């Protein structure tokens, strides 16, 4: 991960000269993070890829309006992604759905097929459980534990206080623990 100073320099280059290489480096720095965030929101691999691309396209088109002193660049990207996800669900609620296979099976790069199936099942179980949380709880948990952001960064992205992040995290973990049926406690720090 690049330093905050490195990110700021890349943003300045992308803003002032429209430097596509600098923006490409920003893309490389944040694409996985944005994809994970969006995927845990929409639950569909292809849609998450598309929305991730749209996030960076919007960022590229609007980079000149980004103010370096207002919010961190990553927070700005999360807000763009969040708005696109909201629009996606708004459009989805109006569209008739026809169930189709999500993705064709792909060969595993993880080795042991039994471990691959078990990991996929556990991932699906967690995703299903997370869908039962409130939107705020789900968003806090994804930002904190999937994207490894600090409470301050989560607060900035969501527009809430650090205390609200901590409270939402605690309630979300307790709910997730109850949904998953764990008896060992919520496991948060």
pLDDT at 131: 84
pLDDT at 65: 85
154 neighbors 143 (Cβ within 8 angstroms): yes
pLDDT at 121: 62
pLDDT at 58: 94
pLDDT at 103: 45
CA angle 120, 122, 127 (to 5 degrees): 95
Domains of the chain are: 1-95 (1.10.1740.10), 112-189 (1.10.10.10)
Mean pLDDT of 89-97: 72
Between 80-84, 98-102, 168-172, the lowest mean confidence (pLDDT) is in: 98-102
Q: How far apart are CA 47 and CA 35, in angstroms?
A: 10
pTM: 0.67
Q: Which residues have CB under 8 Å from 137's CB, separation 6+?
A: 168, 169, 171, 172, 175, 176
Q: How far apart are CA 83 and CA 86, in angstroms?
A: 5
pLDDT at 100: 45
Mean pLDDT of 147-162: 87
Which of 31, 36, 89, 96 has the alpha carbon at shortest distance from 60? 31
What digits encode the pLDDT tens for the residues 106-131?
Answer: 444 555 666 665 665 667 777 788 88
Distance of CA 128 to the CA centre of its chain: 16
Mean pLDDT of 48-56: 94
| pLDDT of residue 135 exceeding 90 | no
């Amino acid at each position: 991960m690049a330093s905050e100073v490195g990110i700021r320099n890349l943003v300045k280059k992308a803003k002032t000269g429209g430097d596509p290489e600098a923006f490409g480096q920003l893309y490389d720095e944040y694409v996985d993070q944005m994809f994970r965030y969006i995927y845990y929101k929409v639950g569909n691999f292809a849609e998450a890829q598309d929305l991730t691309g749209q996030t960076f396209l919007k960022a590229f088109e609007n980079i000149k309006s980004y103010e370096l002193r207002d919010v961190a660049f990553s927070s700005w990207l999360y807000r763009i992604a969040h708005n696109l996800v909201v629009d996606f669900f708004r459009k989805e609620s109006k569209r008739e759905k026809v169930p189709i296979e999500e993705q064709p099976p792909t060969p595993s790069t993880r080795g042991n097929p039994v471990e691959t199936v078990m990991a996929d099942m556990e991932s699906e179980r967690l995703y299903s459980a997370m869908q039962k949380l409130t939107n705020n709880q789900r968003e806090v948990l994804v930002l904190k534990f999937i994207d490894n952001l600090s409470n301050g960064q989560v607060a900035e992205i969501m527009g809430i206080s650090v205390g609200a992040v901590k409270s939402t995290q605690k309630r979300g973990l307790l709910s997730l623990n109850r949904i998953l049926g764990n008896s060992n406690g919520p496991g948060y720090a």
